[in-house]
Every structure is written in C-alpha cells, then in structure tokens.
Structure 1
Amino acid sequence: MSDELDNNEDNLIPKGENNSSEETITKVTGMYRDWFLDYASYVILERAVPAIEDGFKPVQRRIMQSMKDLDDGRYNKVANIVGHTMQYHPHGDASIADAMVQIGQKDLLIDTQGNWGNILTGDGAAASRYIEARISKFGLDVVFNPKVTTWQASYDGRRREPINLPVKFPLLLNQGAEGIAVGLSTKILPHNFLELIDASIKHLQGKRFQIYPDFPTGGIMDIANYNDGMRGGKIRSRARINQLDKNSLVITEIPFGTNTSSLIDTILKANEKGKIKIKKIEDNTAAEVEIHIYLPSGISPDKTIDALYAFTACETSISPLGCVIEDNKPLFIGVSEMLRRSTDRTVELLKKELEIQLDELEEQWHFASLERIFIENRIYRDIEEEETWEGVISAIDKGLQPHIQHLKRAVTEEDIVRLTEIRIKRISKFDIDKAQQKIESLEESIAQVKFHLEHLIEYAIDYFKRLKKDYGAGRERKTEIRAFDDIEATKVVIRNTKLYVNRAEGFVGTSLKRDEYVADCSDIDDIIVFTEDGKMMVTKVDAKTFVGKGIVHVAVFKKKDKRTIYNIIYKDGARGANYVKRFAVTSVTRDREYDLTNGAKGSKMLYFTANPNGEAELVTIYLRQTGSIKKLKFDLDFADQLVKGRNSKGNIVTKYPIRKIELKEKGLSTLKPRKIWFDDSVQRLNVDERGELLGEFKKEDRLLIVNQKGGVKTVAPDLGLRFDDDMIILEKWEPKKPLSAIYWEGEKELFYVKRFLVEHPEKEEIIITEHPNSYLEKIFTDYKPMAEVVFAKKRGQERDENLELNLEEFIAIKGINAMGNQLTKEKVLEINALPSLPYEPQVPVEPEEMDVIEETELGSVPSNTDDSDSKTDETGQGLLF
C-alpha cells in the first residue's frame, strides 16, 4: 500500500492551483510500522515477559537491586524502596509498588512487615508508607553476587543496573509469572520449592524428572493435560469441599486464581439462577480459608458439591503458556526445559564464583608469601639508605629475587608497593609460625576450591541440598494432585422450574402453568416427547415449544440411559399389521423427529409405557370381530420381547385390527443387576469398569461405608456419591453379615472387641466410644475373621508365640451401640489381620433374568450385552387406547 502512495503522490495535488496554495502531505505508513514495532518490542522485552536467565521481569529485577542497595539488615519503608527503584525504572511509583506487593506475597525473596494483603480473601495491601520490607535470607543467599553480575547503564545513564541477576535457583518456576504483551502472552504456573530442588538434583544426576504446579491457595488439581506447561495444555483446579453434616458444607482451600470474595460471588449467582440451592453462606477466612455453606433440608450435600464444581468458580480451568525472553527474543518452552536451563545456569554461576574465589585465595596466598619473605629475610632494611622511590622499589625487588622461586606468578611493582605499606608495628609483632599457619590454611582452601571445580556437578548437588535443608521447612506441597471425574451439569443442577404439557395442542414448556404438570426440571435440561402417531423428539427446555399434537408421554431426558425401557404396540399404517417392540433411547440429535413405527402413512401407537428399570408388564389384547376370526382375546407378555434399537421394526402381534389393550399385570425388571466399580483415583463410583468391582446391585442393594473415625453407614449406590479421604471400607452391604471391630477405649486405655449388625441402614452410627482418645484399630467384614495380637515383651520374660484370635468365638453378636468385650489387660504392641476362616453362606437361587440387548439397525440379529448403567427413580407411565 505504501508503494501505491509513493507512485500516486503527485496526483494528490489539485491541478490549476499554484504552489503557494499547495498542501504538504506527510505519509505515516512507515512511521506507524516502525513505531508500533518499537512499542511491541518494548512491551515484550521490558515489561510483560520474564527473562529465562533469572526469572525476573525488569521491574522485579530493579526492585530487588534497589533493596540490595538499601540493605543494612533492617526493615525499610516500602515507599522508600519504591522511590529508590524509580532511579532504575521509568514507569512511576504505582507499578513499582504493585509489583513489590506481588513479590512479597509469595513469601520467598522479601521479608515483609505490616499489612501486605491476603491472597486468600483478595484484600489489598496497605499503602506503601505503612508497610516495610527487607531482603530475606534466601534472597541474599541465591540472588546477589556483584562479582559475577553483568551491568548496564540505567535509563538516564546516572546509575548502573544488572542486565540479569545471578539467581542460583529455578526462581521463575517457583514464583510463576503472568503477563500480556503485544501479540503474545505468558502464564507460567508456580511450582513447589522442594520438588524443584529435587528435580534439579535429578537433572544433575542424569535422571528423568517431572514437575507439576503447586498453588499457595492449596486445593485439588488434575494435571492429566498439563502438557509440561506449554501452549495447548490445561489443568483443572478445584476447591477442597468437605461435608460437615447433612445440612452444611465447608470450603477449606480454593482454586488458584480465585479468592474467597470472588468465589462466594459465583456461588451466590448460581443460587440466584437456580443452579444450586443454598440457605446461607458465611466467610470465616482469616489465616486459612473457611467458607461455610448451609443447605436447606432435603438437599443432597453430594450433589451440591458436584453442582458447585459445575456451576461456580469452585472449579477453574487454567491454560498455561510457557513464554520467556532469551537473547532479547521470546522463546516458547516447557517447564521441564526451563528447569534444565536454570539448573545448568546455576552450575555455570557456581563455577564462576569458585573461579573468582580461587583467584582471590591465590592472590592472598601470593601476598602472604611475599610478606613472610619480606619480613623474615629483613629485606625492609635494604631500603634504609635509599633516597629515591625508584631506589626503594629496586632494592626490595633485588632482595626478593633469591626467595621467590616457589611463587606461582611473577612479582609486580604493585606487589612491592603493597610491601612498602606494611606498618612498623606489624613488622615488629610478626609471628613466623602464625604466618606459616595462615599460608597453609590458604593452601587448604585453594585445594578445596580446586576439588570443587574438578567435581562441579557434585558441588552443585550439595548446594541444592543445602538450600533444601536451610530454607525448605514449611514449604511442602499444598495442592493435592488427583484425577478428576467429569461432572455432567444436567445430573447435578437443581430442578429450579416446573415443566407443563398441553397434550392435545402439542405444546410443552415452563410457561404453560394452566396445563398439566409433568415434573420439576432445570433450564439446561432436555425433554423427550412421544406422540400418538409414533413420533419421538428430544428438545431443550423452553418457555413454550410445539412438538406435535397428541402427546402421549413427556419426561426429562437422560443421556446414555440404558435402563429406561420403552414398551410400545403400534399399528403399521391404516390397514397394516400390529407390531410390538421394546427399546431404550441412549442418544439422539436434538430437535430431530424420529419415527418409531415402520413409516407407513396412518401409523398409530396403540399402547405405550416408559419403564425406568426395564419392567415388562403383561397386557390383554382385544381384537375386533372381522371375518372368520375366532380368538378375540389373548395375553401378551413384554418379557418375551427382546430389547432392541429404536429403529427396529419389532415383532408382529396380530394382523387383525385391535379393539383395545388392557394392563393385566405389572411386570418386574428384566434388566440384569447393575455392576458397579469404584475408581480410587477419582474417588467415585462408575459403571465403566474403571477401578475395583464392588459387585452387582439391584434396586434395593446398598453400599457399606466405614471411616477411620468409627462411623458406619449404608447408602444407595448412586453414581453421584462423594467419599471422604478417611474411608477405610467400601463394599456391597450384606444385611445379615456381621461386622467385627477392635478399638482402643480412651477412658479405660484398653482394647475392646465388638461384633454387630448394621441396625439402621439410613443412619450413620459411631461404633467407638466418645472419649477423645478412642480410635478404631481394625475392622473386619468377613464372617469368620482372624486377628493376630502381638504383645510387648516384658523384662526378663518372653512369650513363646503371639495370640491368634478367632473373633467369632471371642464374642457374640451384640447391638451396634454395645461397648463390647475387653481384649486383654496386657500391653499390646500391634494387631494384625490374618486370613479369615472359610465360610460359604447359603445364597438363595433366583430365576434367570432377561438380558438387555442394544440394536441400532433394522433387522439386525439380537445379541446379549451388558446394559448396566446409571439407575433412575422415575415411575413408569402407561397409556391405553
């Protein structure tokens, strides 16, 4: 475009006008290009993106250098530090103060005093004139060394500032960094102090390592897609939510990037929108996070926890982006490579420091040797008769020559000048033995430094180990790494509205309050609709939606629901045969109309039921009197029909016209018991064969849960259940199988044994006494458990063998609240579980149940499949015509 402007510049001057009236046209194309590039480069290099060498942005580096300039061991007002930093940083006091507060809140480089804000609550720091700071011991140890620092002139040329600080630690990864520049950004997440040191040591040892983020706010984190912190990666961060009781929850840790104020705001908004339902929320956060959430009665705490993760900032997704500055250019790398480069640079800096230290020691040794020669051989007397400075220098040089063969370098005039500066008092008190000891000590130090240089990697490893020992206390990992389960919003959302239907007119929606009520629903639900003409549609909940006249069934749709089975009998066309079919609807395209009949014109549904547990009823079919037909009435058992795909044609019931169909007998479920697994990595139940198989569950079956506090309860195996970290037993509950427990009774300070049955399945009961020192030692769920009791040996006496205890014989089954029997009065060292004795309970024989098969195409051959999946509590709905 600039070329076009150049070629047409003359044409921009109007013809017929003289030069005095001509306007001067200035092209800005080139200026814009150059100025914008300069601006973009400045923002990238000087403001937003940290350097890989020391992990600092320019403002952070200048703050640290200013603090070093002012450091005298005492606290300095932050306002004073900010003012001093302005000698290096040309962007005003506000940006410097904000950057300094961010460094101080990370509690590593700056020792703070006063109100520096709270990253948990989001409260800001006090004004810089009220707070104080000084460099921490760690900062002084690893950040500064003027002898190995490269300097440059400051922006106004009055001072010199470091190009990069000699940081001997992966500081960038520990503190993290975030910045938005022109055309690029960076987001490096903070990592754990101790884990970074361990990873650096592994790198130096040539071993593989992995590092993951660790957030100061704690919480739980899923790093499955972290991608080493590079572009395209993602982590999920969750708050730690625990159930206090059946009506209250407590949040004790929050996701990275949030604070209690913003988190509570999202919870309140979700409550206002009806996504969740809470009664009250309290923020008691001080040094630690403590947010209490009170629930209305009847609201499930487990589902509320899932809903908090689904609809609020209790779960956040963070996309890292590793971008740093290297050689004045942006570089995109992963955190592992950042750590390697930081560790390698630490080795280089340690090498430079050792080399400088070696030069200094050798210089000290050289002058100490010269000093000894000068004084021991009384060379200072040779200058008494010299009248000129040149004569003094020459005399000393001549006197030293016979004694300097062992020196490592030549004697210079500067060395001789230093000898002339030795005071008479020092010469008179010179001690040859002390001088020799000093020289030998320097030789030992030189040998030690040379050894470190020859074994540089080992020296660097010891350096990192020292950092871990000196500064690692209290820096353990705060964020728990755990795989997350995927939460389906439709399964956990609170049903905040009501669904209505006008069957005759064919409308469904939440605004039809004068029509028939269907069910409670949410505004993110889908609904499934069946009509008399054999059509089916799934559509999103709305105020009013037309789905087709003659609605026979409408309900909230559950995706991947294999347990809800639809039983229908339909007439194929105006004069066709009648067919029966059973099918499940697991997935569909929203707002698409599906034909459940054979597609002939005039087809009509004669009978329909929706069965949440695959029930198969028995119906009586009445035929019309036509022709020579003799049998006008017969029974049809849906249990005889296989469950096929929704597109299947079905089986012929009769080719004669049907007058009516009546329900004769309600049916039982034809589905297999549902197999349920427990995935320990996500602490959730599933039907996808992940984790440990808990067993096959029918509708009435329950799970037995025992925790370390001695709590025992049973629950229905709902896939939305959440489990506490202190759970020690999770298995299918057998009501007639006793539990055996050994516990320490705190008041009497003895072990007790009890055997009991769960008496109140719906209630959690504590099986140990209420004394604060009581604790559960062992619990057994086998019929005939065995335990080994190991006694402490008495002085002068030994037991031949430990006690093997048959708990079934030791104590009879008593009430769950009984204290039990005393185990022993002797001192017990430990109690171990032994293999249980064999026992085969009598299992009642049950009739075979019908398999559920899934078919997706017309005419396909039935095959047995396992259709275990999530259960539903809806009731069947039958329609007779």
Structure 2
Amino acid sequence: MSVEDNLNNEEELNSNEQHTKETITRVTGMYKDWFLDYASYVILERAVPAIDDGFKPVQRRIMHSLKEKDDGRYNKVANIVGHTMQYHPHGDMSIADAMVQIGQKDLLIDTQGNWGNILTGDRAAASRYIEARLSKFALDVVYNPKITEWQQSYDGRNKEPVNLPVMFPLLLAQGAEGIAVGLSTKILPHNFNELIDASIKHLKGKKFTLFPDFPTAGIADVSNYNDGLRGGKVRVRAKIAQQDKNTLVISEIPFSTTTSSLIDSILKANDKGKIKIKKIEDNTAAEVEILIHLPASISPDKTIDALYAFTNCETSISPLGCVIDNNKPVFIGVSEMLRRSTDHTVYLLKSELEIQLSELQEQWHFASLERIFIENRIYRLIEEEETWEGVIAAIDKGLQPHIKHLKRAVTEDDIVRLTEIRIKRISKFDIDKAQQKIEALEGQIEEVKHHLENLIEYAISYFTRLKKDYGEGKERKTELRLFGDVDATKVIIRNTKLYVNREEGFVGTSLRKDEYVADCADIDDIIAFTRDGKMMVTKVASKTFIGKNIIHVAVFKKKDKRTIYNAIYKDGTSKASYIKRFSVTSVTRDKEYYITQGNKGSMVTYFTANPNGEAEVVTINLRQVGSIKKLKWDLDFADLLVKGRASKGNLVTKYAVKRIELKSKGVSTLKPRKIWFDDSVQRLNLDGRGELLGEFKGDDKLLIISQKGIVKTVTPEVTLHFDDDMIVLEKWIPNKPISAIYFDGNKERYYVKRFLIESENKEELFISEHPNSQLEIVATDYRPVAELVFSKQRGKDQKPNEEVDLEQFIAIKGLKALGNQLTTDKLKQVNLLDPLPYEAPEEVVTEEIEVVDEKEIPANNIDLSKSINEGDGEQGTLF
C-alpha cells in the first residue's frame, strides 16, 4: 500500500469519527421534560378520577355531551360518541368503551339495547345499534350550569366543564380503576343507600364505616379493607350451594370475574387434578347459574373448599384510593373521600341557594317596579318626550317617590326593561294578582334564606330525599362475612399414587413397579423413617432418595397432634434399648432428623404409626446370655408419656434383644376432640372459637336440622359447609328423640311428631312434602314443652294459652310418620318453653394423654424389665 493510500484511509477514518461525534445527542433534557409532560397528562387527563365530581375526563365529556343532546328521548350511542369527540382528543373506541362502562353501572345512563353483560363478560353491541339517555338521577344530581366552572376544549372551539357539580358521592358509588404512569387507582364500588346514610351521619357529626358492595353480589370478607387505602385487601367469594348430593350450584360470582373466566379456572383446576368434576353447565341469563356435577365418590363440602382454594371462586382485591385533587394525585381512604364529597355537596347546595336567592330578589325587585310603573301610570310621562334620554329621565323621575321600600337602587337597565312592557299587558294588569305574586316571591325568599341559615339541616333533607326517590331497589347485594382459611392440603383431590422402594431408599410417584403407599397430590409433603433412625419430610416428587431400609412412609399432615409414633430402638454406643412415644407437628423440609440419640450403629427395632394415638402391648424377648434371669416380659405403650421427637425415651433393657412381639393391638389414648362452631364464619374449628359443640370420638356425628324440615347426621369435619336456614347444630345422641310441631299444607292442620334418626349420613325430610307445609318448632330435649297461643275467633271468648308436654302427647314413631294432630282450634303462635327436668346418662370420656416437650420433662431412665410381668404374646414387628 502506498503512502497516498495510507493518507486517504486516515482521512476517511477521521471523517467517520467526526461524523459519529456529530450524531451523538444528549436526551437528558428531553427525558426530563417530555416524559414528565406525558406522565402528567396520563395521570391528570386519562387514568385517575377527580375527587370533586368522581369522573375521569372522558367520562365527564360523555356526560356533558349527553346533557347537550338531552331532549328526553333516546339517542344513538354513535351520535353521542361523535358529539363527544369535539371535546375529547382521543378516538371513538375509547369514548364508546367508557360510555358502555358507565351504562353498565346502571346509575347515570338509561340504556336501551344490548349493552353487554357484566356477569358473562359479553360485550355490548356496536354503538350504532344501542341507545342511551340521561337517567332521572343524573339530571337531578349532576348538572347545574349556573354553578359550573367552564374551560376551553382541547382545540379552543368549544367550552367544556372543568368539573361537573355532582351533589352525591358518585366516585364511591361507581368505583374507579385506572393505570397511569408510575401510579394506579382502584376504588371499589359501594352501596347507594349506605353512602347516603354515611353522608347524613357525617353531617350530624357521627362516625361511619364504609364497605364495598359489588354489582356481581357474592360474599366478601372486608376485615382487612383498611378504608380502601394501599395495603388493604378484600377477599371475595362466589356463592356456592349444594343442590343435591352430586350437584353444586354457583348463584353469585366474585367481583372482577365473569362466568366465562370462572368456568375456565374450574376446568383448568380439574385438568391439573386439584379438583374432580364430572360436568359443568352455564345456565346464566339475567341471573348467574352455574351447575357443577360431581362424581359419586366426591364430597360436595370438600369440593366447595377446593373451588375456593384453587379457582377464581375466591379472588383477592387490593384497593388503592388515588384521586386528583387540585391538579395533583393524592392517596386517601374512602371515608375521607365521602367526607370531602359531602362537604363539597354542602358547598354546591349553598352556591345553588345563593344564586336562587339572587334570582328571586331580582324577580321581586322587577315585579315591584312593574307594579309601581303601571299602578301609578308612570308610562304616561313619556308621551311628550322626543328623545330616548328624555324618556329614561322621565321614568326615573316618576319612580322616585315610590321606590323607598326597594332593596336596591333602580338602574338604567331596570328602566329599559319597563319600557319594553307591552300595551296589552298594561291594559290587562291586575293589581291583586301582582301583589299575590310579590308576596309569593317574598315567601320563597324567606324560605331560601332559612335554608341558608340552616344549611346542614337542608343538606340532610336533600340526602334524605335522594334516598327516598332513588334508593328503592338499590339494597346491598354483597354479603359481608368473615372467611375461614381453606387448607389446600385437606381439600385437594389426591389423584397421584405414591410408591416406595424400601431397600434402596427411594420414594416417589414414578416408582410404579415398587410398593404402593397411598394416594397423594403434588402439593403434599411426605414423611419417611429409616431403620437407622433417620426421619425426613420432603415434597412429593417423581423420585426422591430418603435413605436405605425405609421402615415407614406416609403423607405428612402439618400440626398433626393425633398421629403418635411408637418406637423401640437400640443405641449404637451403649447397645441399650429405649422405648418412646412421640408426635411430629412441624419440621424443616428436606432436613434429616434422628428419632434415636444419633449415635453411629443405632437401629430401630420396633415402629408403628398410629393415626388416633393407639398404644399397643408388645412382648420383649432377650437373648440367653450369661446369667440373665428374666428373658421375656410385656411392655404397654400406654404407660408412656407422649413426648417430642428429640426425646431420648425410657430404658427398656441394657441387654441384647432377641425379638419384639406384638401381644395386643392398642386403642386410642387420646381424649375425644373438642369441636366448636364459629357463627361468624359458619365453620367448625378445633381452636376454641365460637360455641362448643362437645367432645367427639371417632364415630360421633353432628345433628343438623334446617328450617325446611330436613334432618341429617354428618361426620364433624372442619371442611363442612352449612346452609343459611340451619336452626339446629349439636352433637348427635342416637337415643335422644327429636320433637317437632309443623303445619301440614295438605290438611291445613298442625301436627306433632317425635322420632329417632334411623339412617346415618342421610338427608331426610321429616315434615310433609306439600309446598305449604312449614316447620314451626323443633326440639332436641328429652322432655320438651310447647306453648299454644290461640287466635281470637269472632263471637267467642279468647281461649287461654295452653302448655303441651310433647313426651306425654305422643310416643316416638318413625321419621316418615305424619304424627298426631295438635289441636282443632286456630293457632296464632307456637312457642317452645323450657323443658322438663331429665337426667341424661353420663358419657364415658377417655383420659387425655398429653404431648410433653422433652426439654421440660427429661427421659425417665428406669429399667422397665424390673417392673413388668412376663406374658406370652403373638409374633410382632421385628426389624
């Protein structure tokens, strides 16, 4: 390459470098200015509603356009959208979508046509097919051009309101949701009547509390609502009921879901094996009706909980109260929003009254001038005047002697108006009618002044009128209730099989050639014990190594105090054998624990897992070594305290054990479970919340009676659901009769019956099937007493009340028996009185075995071989 070529190349490189430097542009300033402008625009002009009227800009422009086009008739939505575009700088689709959302809230817009369905998620028809007009409520509370502040539209061609003078907490009634730049808002809708009541309470200086009310109804837990501020949470559930033993029906859905999204989530949970359903039907039209058909072997109660745990039948909503106040976004709670809205309504009412007072005073002023002008024939003074100035001066001079009682001076404009009065009106002027008009205006003026002097009372009467005029049909839809947490591990369908290879030490769902253990789910934990005394809890997986020589594996139940493990092990260091009973309530997953002392060479020689705390009797056989005299004796695990997993245990013997034999199977050593019913969440619990139902052993049942006259007994499980019409819930005593008085719709007579339940776990009707039949009272006392209150009959004396001993009145019969007629007289009322005394047989309660922490009570190192007699036994478990 020549020198010339080198110089050319260098010049080209320098040129490229210079060109590169020239194209570098600093964007810091642009970023600060442009991005901030864009963010401010989105926050203020698109996504976040104003606190003054509760509208976003597009909503405000739609409402303004509706008012401009309002003539009492329906307008095509397409026309309204087109009219709104002269105020709104964005496209027609955004306007149409915003208008549909307002219309679906059924408060401000009177709709006609297919406006979509918030329950199913179906979209509205095209805007050229649907129509709208302002509702009476909107015309009443949203508009008043005299107190509205106006501004120029985005292109300067029109005027639009800065804020509409809304005299109602509209923002809280409709709710709002929007995502801006760097912030968002989510204000939940509230009940119309409750908002008015809260406004009245605020005006009276009383405290109030607001909770959301959703148009889709459902059930809501608002215990953590936090006044709608950041960090709060509302749990919303679908209303699910059991139609029959194999069918569930969803009649209300959670807010923010649709029937389509709900069904999709149910099908997805079914595909993943978390729930098991046979078929699902969507019969939703005006009301929600989703039927879920279950296989015959699936529990409806567990399925309801599983639907809440694994599908959109329960959703969590996080409110965030962000509004525009004085052109700035602020975060406030719903209580403060209501207070500000109510105070703003009072301000608007005051402004409205002041304008009304000014107008009435002007009307009174001119009516008085008109009367003076005509009554005193001042109009004749202008006949000889040749100039306009002369006319004005003549009328002014003629008025002076008569205007001392007027509230303000007479202006030239007043005189001009007098000159515009027609001759026909002057000729037909009636002095009496004019005076009556003036007096009526004076009465109206005094009334407005009274309202201004008593502004708070006027505002209260205003809100009361709104509730009276528009509150009908706007009762609360969402039921407020505390929710009990659903334990997913207790309600999930276990559709996976767990296997174990004991010798090699593997556990998992893919070991199909090995030993089957149990059904499990992918969210379960499993617990396993090995012969060398190791214990581990791990997640269900396809294949997990636990340790060789597995002696026990099962699905692990966290916080399970009823499963008791009985074990005997030989210590690797001292060679002595120890016995222990322990429970495992909580551990760290995938961490190895020892149930021995952890010494090398330790070995578990006997092990059982007992789901109800059973304690068996075993026989210890020693090897014949040296001069040992006692080679065989029995050990009863019931004699031991239940301690923690880390306990050392009690010494069995320091000599070598030949074998351990099971002599007799044990019975439960645990006290029956105490079960409570928490009425606030309508659920059973073991934690002492609510009313104590009693102590339940394994075969004990609950008795449930409903107002419909249905009785059933069920196993007490914390997953049970209860109907709203349940009137009796108690521990079932099989030999205690049930007494009932009911009205038979067919014979139109009251009947008494006493019966025992013959079939457990079966739902049965114990009153007649006629649709007019009705249960009056039901009693589960041994000797109930009823009081009969008779109706007064024409021409007869009032029959005194009568007491009936139901035990003496009728013997115990079958559940399907009609019973005995109670009386031939007409009854007004039947009351249940205190029962007669009766001594029920006492229940035998097993003594409770307490789980003891090893740190509090040390192991008792007593050689049990010295205190337990010999005994023969069958061959037991020997490892």
Task: Answer whether TM exceeds 0.5 for this pair.
Answer: yes
Shift of 1:783: 0.6
Structure 1 contact 83–93 (Cα < 8 Å) conserved: yes
Write out per-residue CA displacement over residues 581-611 of structure 1, whole angstroms, 9 at most, x where no aligned residue: 0011111110011101112111100000000
Shift of 1:855: 1.2
Structure 2 CA distance for aligned equivalents of residues 364 and 856 of structure 1: 95
User: 5 Å matches for 1:385-784?
Assistant: 385-784=384-783
Report the residue type matching 1:257 in the other structure: S
Alignment of 1:278 with 2:277, yes or no, is: yes
Shift of 1:573: 1.0
Structure 1 contact 738–755 (Cα < 8 Å) conserved: yes
Shift of 1:793: 1.6
Write out per-residue CA displacement over residues 309-354 of structure 1, whole angstroms, 9 at most, x where no aligned residue: 0000000010000000011111000000000000000000000000
Partner residue, 2:195? 196
Shift of 1:65: 0.3
Partner residue, 1:373? 372
Partner residue, 2:334? 335
Structure 2 contact 141–167 (Cα < 8 Å) conserved: yes
Write out per-residue CA displacement over residues 784-840 of structure 1, whole angstroms, 9 at most, x where no aligned residue: 111111111223443363111111111111111100011111111111111111110
Partner residue, 2:206? 207
Structure 1 contact 610–878 (Cα < 8 Å) conserved: no
Structure 1 CA distance for aligned equivalents of residues 529 and 154 of structure 2: 76
**SS at the partner of 1:61?**
helix
**SS at the partner of 2:660?**
strand
Write out per-residue CA displacement over residues 533-563 of structure 1, whole angstroms, 9 at most, x where no aligned residue: 1111000000000000010000000011100
RMSD of aligned Cα (Å): 1.7
Partner residue, 2:296? 297
* Pair 1:16–1:111, CA change in 2 (3 A): closer
**SS at the partner of 1:591?**
coil
Report the residue type matching 1:855 in the other structure: D
* Pair 1:23–1:246, CA change in 2 (3 A): same
Structure 2 CA distance for aligned equivalents of residues 459 and 275 of structure 1: 59
Structure 2: gaps (5+ residues): 1-11, 861-874
Partner residue, 1:853? 851
Structure 2 CA distance for aligned equivalents of residues 829 and 17 of structure 1: 106
TM-score by length of 2: 0.96
Partner residue, 1:160? 159
Structure 1 contact 649–858 (Cα < 8 Å) conserved: no
Structure 2 CA distance for aligned equivalents of residues 827 and 858 of structure 1: 70
Structure 1 CA distance for aligned equivalents of residues 669 and 624 of structure 2: 34
Structure 1 CA distance for aligned equivalents of residues 514 and 859 of structure 2: 43
Structure 1 CA distance for aligned equivalents of residues 282 and 844 of structure 2: 56
**SS at the partner of 2:615?**
coil
Structure 1 contact 786–804 (Cα < 8 Å) conserved: yes
* Pair 1:850–1:114, CA change in 2 (3 A): closer
Structure 2 CA distance for aligned equivalents of residues 142 and 842 of structure 1: 69
* Pair 1:310–1:608, CA change in 2 (3 A): same
Structure 2 CA distance for aligned equivalents of residues 304 and 740 of structure 1: 33
**Number of equivalences:** 854
Structure 1 CA distance for aligned equivalents of residues 876 and 629 of structure 2: 29
Report the residue type matching 1:207 in the other structure: K
**SS at the partner of 1:96?**
helix
* Pair 1:17–1:539, CA change in 2 (3 A): closer
**SS at the partner of 2:133?**
strand
Task: Pick from 862, 877, 880 the counterpart of residue 878 of structure 2.
Answer: 880
TM-score by length of 1: 0.95
Structure 1 CA distance for aligned equivalents of residues 20 and 508 of structure 2: 73
Partner residue, 1:9? none
Structure 2 CA distance for aligned equivalents of residues 560 and 797 of structure 1: 68
**SS at the partner of 1:441?**
helix
Structure 1: gaps (5+ residues): 1-12, 863-876
Write out per-residue CA displacement over residues 700-755 of structure 1, whole angstroms, 9 at most, x where no aligned residue: 11000000110000011111111111111000000010010000100111111111
Report the residue type matching 1:524 in the other structure: I
Shift of 1:19: 9.4
Report the residue type matching 2:282 in the other structure: D
Report the residue type matching 1:701 in the other structure: D
Structure 2 CA distance for aligned equivalents of residues 861 and 327 of structure 1: 73
Structure 1 contact 647–858 (Cα < 8 Å) conserved: no
Structure 2 CA distance for aligned equivalents of residues 878 and 582 of structure 1: 17
Structure 2 CA distance for aligned equivalents of residues 799 and 136 of structure 1: 55
Structure 2 CA distance for aligned equivalents of residues 379 and 465 of structure 1: 50
Partner residue, 2:869? none
Structure 1 contact 498–510 (Cα < 8 Å) conserved: yes
* Pair 1:704–1:20, CA change in 2 (3 A): closer
Shift of 1:15: 7.7
Structure 2 contact 675–688 (Cα < 8 Å) conserved: yes
Structure 2 CA distance for aligned equivalents of residues 489 and 20 of structure 1: 66
* Pair 1:20–1:677, CA change in 2 (3 A): closer
Partner residue, 2:814? 815
Write out per-residue CA displacement over residues 218-261 of structure 1, whole angstroms, 9 at most, x where no aligned residue: 10000111000000000100000000111010000000000000
Report the residue type matching 1:313 in the other structure: N
Structure 2 CA distance for aligned equivalents of residues 683 and 560 of structure 1: 23
Report the residue type matching 2:397 in the other structure: K
Report the residue type matching 2:851 in the other structure: I
Write out per-residue CA displacement over residues 390-442 of structure 1, whole angstroms, 9 at most, x where no aligned residue: 11111111111111111000000000100111111111111111111101100
Structure 1 CA distance for aligned equivalents of residues 680 and 878 of structure 2: 49
Structure 2 contact 302–491 (Cα < 8 Å) conserved: yes
Shift of 1:857: 2.8
Shift of 1:577: 1.2
Structure 1 contact 670–852 (Cα < 8 Å) conserved: no
**SS at the partner of 1:616?**
strand
Structure 2 CA distance for aligned equivalents of residues 43 and 519 of structure 1: 57
Shift of 1:762: 2.2
Shift of 1:478: 0.5
**SS at the partner of 1:618?**
strand
Structure 1 contact 285–291 (Cα < 8 Å) conserved: yes
Alignment of 1:143 with 2:126, yes or no, is: no
Structure 2 contact 791–798 (Cα < 8 Å) conserved: no
Structure 1 CA distance for aligned equivalents of residues 565 and 259 of structure 2: 48
* Pair 1:844–1:678, CA change in 2 (3 A): closer
* Pair 1:19–1:724, CA change in 2 (3 A): closer
Structure 1 CA distance for aligned equivalents of residues 852 and 211 of structure 2: 43
**SS at the partner of 1:634?**
strand
Bigger mean CA offset, 835-844 vs 801-810: 835-844
Write out per-residue CA displacement over residues 9-57 of structure 1, whole angstroms, 9 at most, x where no aligned residue: xxxx998999999836542220121100000000000000000000000
Partner residue, 2:830? 831
Structure 1 contact 40–182 (Cα < 8 Å) conserved: yes
Shift of 1:154: 0.2
Write out per-residue CA displacement over residues 507-554 of structure 1, whole angstroms, 9 at most, x where no aligned residue: 000000000000000011000001001111000000000000010000
Partner residue, 2:863? none
Shift of 1:879: 4.0
Structure 2 CA distance for aligned equivalents of residues 327 and 879 of structure 1: 81
User: 5 Å matches for 1:167-182?
Assistant: 167-182=166-181
User: 5 Å matches for 1:184-263?
Assistant: 184-263=183-262
Structure 2 CA distance for aligned equivalents of residues 845 and 284 of structure 1: 52
Structure 1 contact 648–859 (Cα < 8 Å) conserved: no
Report the residue type matching 1:519 in the other structure: A
Structure 2 CA distance for aligned equivalents of residues 14 and 446 of structure 1: 90
Alignment of 1:56 with 2:65, yes or no, is: no
